[in-house]
Structure formats: C-alpha cells, structure tokens
Structure 1
Amino acid sequence: MRTVYRVLAYAIALEVLVQGAMMTFAVFGLRHWIDEGGVLDEAIVQHHAEGFGEVVGFQLHATNEQMIVPAIAVLLLISAFFAKVSKAVGWAVIVLLSVVVQVLLGLFAIDAPALGILHGINGILLFAFALFAARSAHVSGARSLPASRGTADVGRSGVIRSTS
C-alpha cells in the first residue's frame, strides 16, 4: 500500500504540472487569437471557434481541477491509512486541504480575478506538498526493515547496520 500512496502523491504533483501546462497553452493561444483579430466571449469558449483550438486548455484545466485532482487527493487520504508510512495521514490531509483551497480559489477567482494570484501560489504549494508526501513514502520504506535476526539500525549516512 506504500507504493499506492507514493504513486498517488506523485500523480497529484504531475497533475499540478498538467494544470499549469493547460493554462499556459490556453493563454498563449488566446493571445495569438486576439493578435489575429479574434474576440473572446462565452460563445467562443463553449463552441470552440475555428482558429482558437487552444480554448480546450481552459476546459481541461477546469475539469481536471474540479474532478480529477480532488478524486486523486481523496484516494491518497484513504491509502494513507493503510500505507504504514510515517506521517502519511498528515501529509494526505495537507494535500487534500490544499486541493480544496485550490478549487475554491479557482471558482471564486472568476468573480475576483486577483484571487488568481493566490490560486497560482497555492498550486506551487500543492505541488511541493504532494512531493513531500511521496518522498515520505520513500524514506519510510528505506528505514523500516523487518528484523528477523536481531534489530536493524539506520545510521546518519542512511546505511542500515545490523545490531545483533
């Protein structure tokens, strides 16, 4: 279950990168669309106007943020209870709370665009928290070995020594 936990944590970090890529794709496409004389309104967003295919980046970003990332975060929390990783539940809760904040900031930023700044900052924090969660599973795995003939001790250098 440690591997499931680690993979889910890395998946959230990867999703944050995908989110950034989708928004960048959409915004640069929008800039090009406007430079070519295009005008953006809700009809263009809903019906994928010819010449502005990058609008799909906005829709993928929203779908990913509101459904896929939260689902992965909930699965991460569930797996944390069974992963036998030190502080796994704590990291999973931090990740899940960051996802909730991220979704709310994204929704409220539509009416208060300045919140987009916090949305970006929280996205970076979410990426870091997910990496910390994943890394904790690596560290816990290296330090918890079954001791069949005595005990094992992990030294400062990370080398495992038998004490029997």
Structure 2
Amino acid sequence: MRITYRVLAYTICVLVALQAAFHAWGSAGLGLYLSEGGVIDASAQDGPPPFPEVIGLMLHGMNGMFVIPVVALILLIVSFFAKVPRGVTYAAIVFGLVLLQVTLGLLGHSIVLLGFFHGINALLLFTAALLAGLNASKRRVAERAEAATAPASASA
C-alpha cells in the first residue's frame, strides 16, 4: 500500500504539471488567435472551437475538475491503510489544497484576482504532493521505524 500511496502522490505532481502545460498551450493559442484579428465573445461558445489550442483550456478544466480531485480522494483513502508515517496528514493537506484549487478556479471566472491565488495554490499543491511521495519512500519509512524502535530497545 505504501507504493500505491507514493504512486498516487507523484501522479498528482504529474497532473498538476500537465495543468500548467494545458493552460499555457491554450493561452498561447488564444494570444495568437487574438493577434491575428480573432474575436472572443459569447458567440464563440457556439459552433466549432475558434482556435485549435482551445483544447488545452478544455483539458485544463476537465483534469482540474475531475481527474485530480478523484486521485486526491483515492490518495486520502489509501493513506489510512498505507502505514506511512504522517501519511494521512500529508494526504489530507493535498486533498484540502485540491478542494481550494477547484474553488479558486471556479470563482476565478467571476472574481479574477482569485486566478492569481489559483496559480500560487497550484505550486503549493505540487509541493505538498511531492513531499507526500517523498515521505513514503522506503528510506524515510525505514529511518522513522528505526528511530521509533531505538529508544524502546535501548531502555530495555
């Protein structure tokens, strides 16, 4: 289960990196479309996509709203069985940051300043998931197990 925990934590890191790539790709396409005279208004939502890179923005939304939250929830559930020291704490932090990220992403469409915090929180989420994965490494778990048993065996 520890390996599953570690794989899930690192998967969240990969998914967050993909989020940045999807958004950058979509934003670059939007910038090119606008610089070539394209116009974005309410009618752009009807019919075919106005520019091909819009798929990056769509993937950003789907990955952020569905894939990452599901993986984070599975990580939290697995954390109760993985026997990783402080694993539940790390998984809960990751899950909490995912919930905050989704909230900031949704509210950022009407309160644009929240988009700024959405970007910062993405870095925090990546870092928390990375630390969760590193915390579950064999070396770390072995070091903590030795530290936990050393005082008990020394006093006996």
Shorter-chain TM-score tier: 0.7 to 0.9
Q: How many residues were matched structurally?
A: 147
Q: Show CA shifts across 1:82-112 (max 9, x none).
A: 1111000000000000000000000000001
The percentage of aligned residue pairs carrying the same residue is 41
Match of 1:158 in 2: none
- What does residue 78 of structure 2 align with? 79
Q: Mark the CA change 1:53 to 1:93 in structure 2 (over 3 Å): closer, same or farther.
A: same
Q: Which residue of 1 aligns with 2:119?
A: 120
Within 5 A, what are the aligned runs for 1:121-160?
121-138=120-137, 139-143=139-143, 153=146
Query: Cα distance, 1:3 vs. partner?
Result: 0.3
Give the TM-score taking structure 1 as reference length.
0.83
Distance 1:143 1:97 in 2: 28
CA RMSD of aligned residues (A): 1.8
Give unmatched runs, 5+ long, in structure 2: 148-153
1:2-61 deviations in whole A, cap 9, x for unaligned? 0000000001011110000000000000000011111113443454435x1001111111
Q: CA deviation at 1:144?
A: 6.3
- Segments of 4+ in structure 1 off by > 2 A? 41-50, 139-145
What letter matches 1:5 in structure 2?
Y
Q: Summarize the Cα distance change of 1:54–1:46 in structure 2 as closer, same or farther, 3 Å threshold.
A: farther
Aligned twin of 1:6: 6
- Structure 1: tracts of 5 or more residues without a match: 146-152, 155-162
Deviation at 1:132? 0.4
